[in-house]
Chains A and B, each alone.
Chain A
Amino acid sequence: MIRYIVRRLLLLIPVLLGMTLIAFAVTKAVPTDPIIASISQEASNHPEIVAAYRKEWGLDKPLSIQYLTYVKNLLHGDMGVSIYTHRPVVDDLLDYLPATVELATVTIFFSVLLSFPLGILAAMRRGGITDFVVRMLTLAGVAMPIFWLALALLDIFYLHLGWAPAPGRLDYALSPPPPVTRLYIIDSLIAGEWSVAWDALCHLALPAFVLATWSVGLLTRMMRASMLSVLPQDFLRSVRSKGASDFYVIRKHAAPNAMIPVVTVIGLAYGDLLSGALLVETIFGWPGIGRYAYNAAVHVDFPAIIGVALTSTRS
């Protein structure tokens, strides 16, 4: 066990480095010039301004030097400065990552809460009406184009009904709680600001619901499929023959086995959500990492690109 952990940790460094190398190579393969792409219109007409920026980011040096400098800084804990925002990448990540983490966590939490019982129920009542309803709902969930749904729900629940709060993380009149984790719900609970915590949760509701349609659908179906594989196996029959009730059988034997592939999928879904949901963030004005990553990619901003990729990998 110890050997396993040590081996995983040792492998982490080459993996991260390998990833930075691939990311660097692919980024440089794009012919877009990050300086020209970020600079203002008139400034691009002035060579001395362009040259000053190039020098600032070491873009006038050969590619190998650029890469090695970046890696050297990285190993010292310095993720570099974003070519687009002109701020340290670490600061940018601290600004945008927490919003995504909070949204992703709430989404996954409620997805798991909902999908496990639904999946088990559907498997148990296979072929029946419950199963059918659950399956149709989950199918709709995974097949639904997410940003279409986001716009439709925003239209109905915010514009017309006024049930959902205005898009954003908090009501404009409330200021964020003192930053500890920068997750508003946790921080405001720590600070005892109950109304802020509630407001943050209300603002999370609609975007999390939209994102959850997909993960609830996926997880329920995986749970059901997995349960169906586990249910008929012989050891379950032997448990049943001992006269244990259905529920006991499920809880003690079937569910834990069924969960194995599902847990992997939960991890994947969570990781997927953590990389940010660009379109949902755009529509709900959510200041998350999705939009930051998109801007970084489009502006070929390699410190930011690699910064985002590194934080995704670790999670």
Chain B
Amino acid sequence: MSDIKRGGNIQNGVSRRRLIESGAALAVMPSAVAASLAVPTRVATAAGRVKALIVVQQPGSLRTVDPGRASEVDAAAIMRALYDALLSLKGADPAPAYATDWTVSPDGLTYVFNLHPDWKFNDGSPVTPEDYIFSCHRQRNNKADASWLLGNVASMVKSGPNQITIKLKSLDVDFLKLVPNPGLAVTKAATVRAHGGTDAPDAATKDTATTWLDQHSVGTGPFMIDHWDRGSEMVLRANPHYWGPKTFDTVVFRFVQDPTTQRDLLLRGDAHIAVNLTPDLADEIQKRGSASKAAIVNVPALGVAYLGFNVKATGPISQPKAWEAIKYAVDYAGLKDIYRGGGQPTGSIVPPQLPNALPIAEGLKQDIDKAKAALAALGVPNGFSFKLTYGADQMIQNVPASDVAQKVKADLAAVGINADLVGIPLTQELTDYRAGKPEAVLHLWAVDYPGWTDFLPNYAPGGHVALPRQNWAVDSSPEAKQIAELSARAMAMVDPAQQLEPALQAQRLINQYGPYAWLFETNYQLGYRTDVIKKLSVDLLSFFNIPTSEFV
């Protein structure tokens, strides 16, 4: 039975072992040599180039690579290697992928995409608009984690032999930022259907293709799944029909949870890219210099770590003046020593890399005198107490949340505010926070798509975060009403130039009056081997992209 799961390869007449061996830079050692236990580093052959790229990452939340269901960050790099969507990302901007070019109607509701006529799936068959539409409908009707991507789509139709027209229900100025998501990747309808997939409205209960799609992929990406040993490794082999440049025969994703072990693998050359290095480990690699053949590149993760306060809590913590005191009390510069290369400052909720972000110079700053003045205005010049809830086992990117929480506690204590740290398992913190229970939290908002609308409207009064989690309603205060209006106005502008001013002003007012203290934006710190990779092409959603990188 288990052979069926891996049977695809045997059907092709190529056993996995021969496949990987032929692709390996160094042939598998005979047992006598292996007995020496010496581990040669897997670096360049005499021909100058490794045949298999080895990436080490945490298995973390990786549960499936079915594009109709995969949604978590830990699957991102793998999905990027397997599938393409209509669009990709260049920095934070949409770039062509399956679509060559596109037009948007003046009212922002209709999008017309022209498609490549000559693209092929990895089995050689042509890609058609019907395949894309099937994939999207399957995603939506599966009602899985990423099905919200299409929540605002009224219709998606083939409007020409190589053209798709998408109509939205209501204006979404960042719709093009949703399109590159791997959840909207194009897969071959016939194959997915043949293995139990369906895009019918009852797909949520009837679709059974996930098991097959976890071991096989029919996509347009540079690689395809060879096999997945859960918990151990996922092996990909090259797509012979790929539209872009050929790089490696094989890519191996090894799953190792511990960052120090990832670093060890990188230094010994048993991995060429390490995804989850902590700031201390990254610094240590950089200290070793070029002799270690390892280097670090920082990629903005577009996540924002912040303190959030509950408007409906009992006690001083529910008051805007208390928030003001806390915002002025935090030692943002000192926090830098904790997150180092794993983070960077942010002006407000929208990360600096995205359009309409408030400049860092206008961000929150420490000012002890102003903090004390705010306390006095609140009527508690000697400070007050509140409970700060956070995920005890949470890593904010690769910075322990408990370190950040302890630092904040110390900062607040300096002005007399006592933050009682309540560390609970992250899963419990998520449950409590999403139900609006804690007085105050240390939380990380991770990016869903690289658009400013994933941030500002959620945090404006009445937004998806502000209201249910912190009880910040539009009518909480006159300032709240003003902020909500500004946010809504920015969202309604099709022309980006007209979004800027209301968005900036909304963020200024949130900084001043909102129940949030923005601490920092998160970075990934990727480690890579300089003797294999000349230049690692980074990607905001998927860490790195192999075809656009340069190799030795």
Contact = CB atoms under 8 A, between A and B. Distances in A.
A/B touching: CB–CB < 8 A: yes
Interface of A: 30-33, 36-37, 39-46, 48-49, 52, 56, 84-87, 95-96, 99, 151, 154-155, 158-159, 162-176, 178-179, 194-195, 198-199, 202, 281-285, 287-288, 291-292, 298-300
A287 B230 contact: yes
15 contacts: A33-B431, A36-B431, A37-B427, A52-B143, A158-B264, A162-B268, A164-B37, A167-B261, A281-B257, A282-B258, A283-B260, A284-B261, A285-B232, A285-B254, A285-B255
A166 B204 contact: no
B143 A48 contact: yes
The range of chain B's interface size is 35 or more
A163 B2 contact: no
Given A202-B37, A298-B393, A32 B264 contact: no
A283 B258 contact: yes
B39 A162 contact: yes
Nearest to B271: A166
A291 B428 CA distance: 18
A44 B445 CA distance: 13
Interface string B64-96: 100001011000000000000000000000000
A40 B232 contact: no
B283 interface: no
A283 B268 CA distance: 16
Contacts of A84: 63
B446 A169 contact: no
A240 to B, nearest CB: 46
Given A42-B148, A165-B39, A169-B232, A154 B432 contact: no
Contact of A166 (B24, B26, B268): B268
Given A40-B71, A43-B146, A49-B148, A298 B427 contact: yes
A95 B427 contact: no
Contacts of B71: 40, 43
A31 B265 contact: no
A41 B425 CA distance: 17
Looking at B37, B72, B260, B427, which has the most chain A CB atoms within 10 Å of its CB?
A: B427
B501 interface: no
B411 interface: no
Interface in B27-62: 28-31, 34-35, 37-39, 52, 54, 59
A166 B265 contact: yes
Given A49-B148, A95-B230, A291-B231, A172 B427 contact: no
B63 A86 contact: yes
A199 B34 contact: yes
Looking at A30, A175, A194, which has the most chain B CB atoms within 10 Å of its CB?
A: A175
A46 B151 contact: yes
A165 B37 contact: yes
Contacts of B446: 41
Contacts of A49: 143-145, 147-148
Ranked nearest first, the 5 interchain pairs of A and B with the lowest CB-CB distance are A287-B231, A37-B427, A285-B256, A166-B270, A52-B143
A49 B144 CA distance: 7
A172 B297 CA distance: 25
A36 B232 contact: no
B252 interface: yes
Contacts of B26: 173
Interface string B420-436: 00000111101110100
Given A42-B448, A173-B21, 15 more contacts: A33-B431, A36-B431, A40-B72, A48-B143, A159-B264, A159-B267, A166-B39, A172-B270, A178-B3, A195-B31, A281-B257, A284-B261, A285-B254, A285-B261, A291-B59
A291 B233 CA distance: 15
B2 A172 contact: no
Nearest to A41: B446
Contact of B52 (A48, A95, A166, A172): A172
A86 B143 CA distance: 13
A39 B52 contact: no
B534 interface: no
B17 interface: yes
Looking at B143, B265, B454, which has the most chain A CB atoms within 10 Å of its CB?
A: B143
Nearest to B270: A166
Contacts of B30: 195
Nearest to B151: A46
B464 interface: yes
A183 to B, nearest CB: 14
A298 B425 contact: yes
A310 B210 CA distance: 27
Nearest to A147: B258
B436 to A, nearest CB: 12
Nearest to B230: A95
Contact of A163 (B17, B38, B445): B38
B169 interface: no
B231 A96 contact: yes
A162 B38 contact: yes
B229 interface: yes
B20 interface: yes
A158 to B, nearest CB: 6
A198 B35 contact: yes
Contacts of B229: 176, 287
Contacts of B232: 168-170, 285, 287
B37 A173 contact: no
Contacts of A202: 34, 37
B430 A37 contact: yes
Nearest to B424: A32
Contacts of A46: 148, 151
A36 B38 contact: no
Nearest to B269: A166
A154 to B, nearest CB: 6
Contacts of B246: none
Given A36-B430, A37-B427, A298-B427, A168 B254 contact: yes
A195 B20 contact: no
B20 to A, nearest CB: 5
Given A175-B17, A287-B231, A163 B37 contact: yes
A178 B31 CA distance: 19
A282 B257 contact: yes
A31 B458 CA distance: 25
B193 interface: no
Nearest to A164: B37
